[in-house]
Structure 1
């Protein structure tokens, strides 16, 4: 990204994002704002400073949800874009953008997207398709909702990410245990100790293909959409096992997904930025809203999009936040997929096959994300996955087959956990 150096505010010290911004932004053009306890815990000041684009790292309330800017007006006078790193910094990013007078989500929209109860209320007011739901005050409310829905429902926090605390409930489940487990689930590595946990929802269990949509929005209009197909591991925790794109859905269904995303933008009053929305296709065709994040997607979907479509989604996201209208390819030139890897519960003694997986034809990247000596458990959230493989192919299904084949080569020797 060329042009005179100006200030880009990055709210949340995401090292991977800074690495990508380093490829496209001028040296010394980025100010990073992050909560002091997170900066200290991860030695993030020193790590961020290694990026040439970073001019300074500032302690600030990057995870505040009160709608006020994490920076004083004097620090925003040269800002041309404000970029969120984390789910937990979405509201502070919107507030900072408003204070700087640059494009952004809008504080009201950002707060709605950060609170799934508010999102459900906004979607209901707009007449959008979504599961039946309620906000339970206690486990008795959970029991009543489950009983009214065939003892099958979903319990989840209103303000977490990466499936943290999400629990599928079925007939015969111990609802007190499910309630306690969901409430105890944490995301401490990415959220500040100053952050206060919010509300919970219990929702009707829907069935059908699961997809996500990655969307760029400018001034309230959807200007680019990708649809991603996903797979989820079986069990009580719906952790995503893999993604492929572009979606294999019929064009008519993809069009419905695009229309639903514009309806969602209108429902929450979203201004400018990126959305990562998740949907279940009831009867295989009707998109029902699961949830939506007001940021770029995780789970390696951004590099998959770049592999499939070409160009840089992050660069175009920054351009949108600058008020520009980048032209992105509407059709993918090839398919891309990621497959995640799990390890047996216990302490990792050895890791095998990552190099072999990376050498498979069509594999773009492969690796284990847990090291020898790490404790692992069956995946209860995205953070419990043990490795990944990214692959490309002529289409999404071929890329997924390659990724699956390569992922099977990554194995772990694990010492079983001690018996209680």
Structure 2
């Protein structure tokens, strides 16, 4: 087992803060796109981090040979583990792991997980329930799909993230305007300045209860799994309004969601790593939404830590280094944790009242505005357009959700 650095692909400030709590000094190397690293103003944050030894700026988003090029430039890196921190890093990190001979998901599995069209083909062949789905190149093909599949549909990218460019179509009359709207996919600081190819899908809209499974696997076998329940902001954009850990559902459904996740990962040939798989349950049947080969966003990792009294990030890093984790995984979550987001109408924020009161609520761990006075709340197009958040912990998932929602309700946003 190598004692070299942990290579983290993609800069995420929340992950950096967590790594600071358990990684030794100078034990991490961060690899990121030059444009993204600059736009996130990452340099000063990394410079202050005790655990980071170095950063390497390297272009890799949607560049299939990038990992092999990186390997030959940095053959002496000798990493102990390679961690994908963002969606676009998943195939690059998997191929790097193969080249350096450390644990990873496999490049084949990572490629399928990053491409919603390919994932549906493989999952469907493996007998996993999927909505009807076809690639489309324009509105006429969307019209043809909705004619063949009566009822609501969902238009989405095959190769993007964070619900960007995704819209629910209630009827065919919405198609032409929605197509134009969905192609406007500015991901801001999350992507490099160069253009990236885009492919679109139209799918049957499956309405039901929505969940995600967060799981660590080694050699294809699950070591730890958590089921998160999620709520969406009402409307045509399927953006999350909140997450509840663990999902307050019957044990049989928890077991079934975990089992379907393992079955999906076996179908794509996943070996070792972390997954965040999203599912919809309708009339007792579990439908695949998508599956990411990396840790989730929206502070779900923090919710798992609070609800399970278990640092899943540290555990995941230990597994990826190939060692025996220092502690056993818990069998049950002793508490509940939840995050609820603030969504407002678009406009320039003049002031925010109630922050101090909201932060003092029972069980409230964190309340933050994502848009400060003088900033602008944009029309809801993706997860990045939410205005604020509240995180709470309580004796049960339901109580944690109530506390987080009450904290959000305490806030008053005034617009110019």
Same-fold call, TM cutoff 0.5: yes
Matched position secondary structure for 2:80: strand
1:177-256 correspondence to structure 2 within 5 Å: 177-194=177-194, 196-256=196-256
Shift, 1:247, TM fit: 1.1
Counterpart in the other structure of 1:418? none
1:112-131 correspondence to structure 2 within 5 Å: 112-131=112-131
Shift, 1:311, TM fit: 2.1
Counterpart in the other structure of 1:307? 306
* Aligned counterparts of 1:52 and 1:322: Cα–Cα separation in 2: 20
Shift, 1:6, TM fit: 2.7
The range that moved more, 392-401 or 12-21, is 12-21
Q: Which runs of 5+ in 2 are unaligned?
A: none
Shift, 1:81, TM fit: 0.4
Counterpart in the other structure of 1:332? 333
Query: Is 1:343–2:341 an aligned residue pair?
Result: no
Matched position secondary structure for 1:331: coil
Shift, 1:281, TM fit: 0.3
* Aligned counterparts of 2:48 and 2:104: Cα–Cα separation in 1: 28
* Aligned counterparts of 1:286 and 1:329: Cα–Cα separation in 2: 28
Matched position secondary structure for 2:136: coil
Counterpart in the other structure of 1:43? 41
| Contact 2:4/2:77, CA 8 A, preserved across alignment | no
Counterpart in the other structure of 2:400? 399
Counterpart in the other structure of 1:372? 373
- Structure 1 residues 373 and 125, CA, compared in 2 at 3 Å: closer, same or farther? same
Counterpart in the other structure of 1:362? 363
Please give the per-residue CA displacement for 1:344-365, whole angstroms capped at 9, x wherever unaligned.
2111111111221110011011
| Contact 2:166/2:237, CA 8 A, preserved across alignment | yes
Query: Is 1:30–2:15 an aligned residue pair?
Result: no
The range that moved more, 151-160 or 168-177, is 168-177
Give the CA RMSD over aligned residues.
1.7
Query: Is 1:63–2:61 an aligned residue pair?
Result: yes
Matched position secondary structure for 1:255: helix
Matched position secondary structure for 2:190: coil
The range that moved more, 125-134 or 191-200, is 191-200
The TM-score, its normalising length taken from structure 2, stands at 0.95
- Structure 1 residues 170 and 54, CA, compared in 2 at 3 Å: closer, same or farther? same
Please give the per-residue CA displacement for 1:390-413, whole angstroms capped at 9, x wherever unaligned.
111111111111111111012211
- Structure 1 residues 413 and 178, CA, compared in 2 at 3 Å: closer, same or farther? same
Shift, 1:197, TM fit: 2.7
Please give the per-residue CA displacement for 1:29-73, whole angstroms capped at 9, x wherever unaligned.
111111112223333223212111111111112324415416234
Counterpart in the other structure of 1:147? 147
Counterpart in the other structure of 1:352? 353
* Aligned counterparts of 1:323 and 1:44: Cα–Cα separation in 2: 29
Please give the per-residue CA displacement for 1:240-297, whole angstroms capped at 9, x wherever unaligned.
10111111111111111111011111111111111101111011x2211001111011
Counterpart in the other structure of 1:295? 294
* Aligned counterparts of 2:372 and 2:13: Cα–Cα separation in 1: 20
User: Size of the alignment, in residue pairs?
Assistant: 412
Shift, 1:379, TM fit: 2.1
| Contact 1:229/1:244, CA 8 A, preserved across alignment | yes
Matched position secondary structure for 2:59: coil
1:163-174 correspondence to structure 2 within 5 Å: 163-171=163-171, 173-174=173-174
| Contact 1:49/1:55, CA 8 A, preserved across alignment | no
- Structure 1 residues 105 and 5, CA, compared in 2 at 3 Å: closer, same or farther? closer
The TM-score, its normalising length taken from structure 1, stands at 0.94
Counterpart in the other structure of 1:318? 317
Matched position secondary structure for 1:403: helix
| Contact 2:34/2:57, CA 8 A, preserved across alignment | yes
1:56-95 correspondence to structure 2 within 5 Å: 56-66=54-64, 68-69=66-67, 71-73=70-72, 74-95=74-95
Matched position secondary structure for 1:189: helix
| Contact 2:3/2:80, CA 8 A, preserved across alignment | no
Shift, 1:195, TM fit: 5.5
| Contact 1:5/1:26, CA 8 A, preserved across alignment | no
Query: Is 1:267–2:267 an aligned residue pair?
Result: yes
| Contact 1:342/1:378, CA 8 A, preserved across alignment | no
Counterpart in the other structure of 2:388? 387
* Aligned counterparts of 2:66 and 2:379: Cα–Cα separation in 1: 39
- Structure 1 residues 98 and 76, CA, compared in 2 at 3 Å: closer, same or farther? farther
Matched position secondary structure for 1:210: strand
* Aligned counterparts of 2:90 and 2:195: Cα–Cα separation in 1: 13
Shift, 1:232, TM fit: 0.6
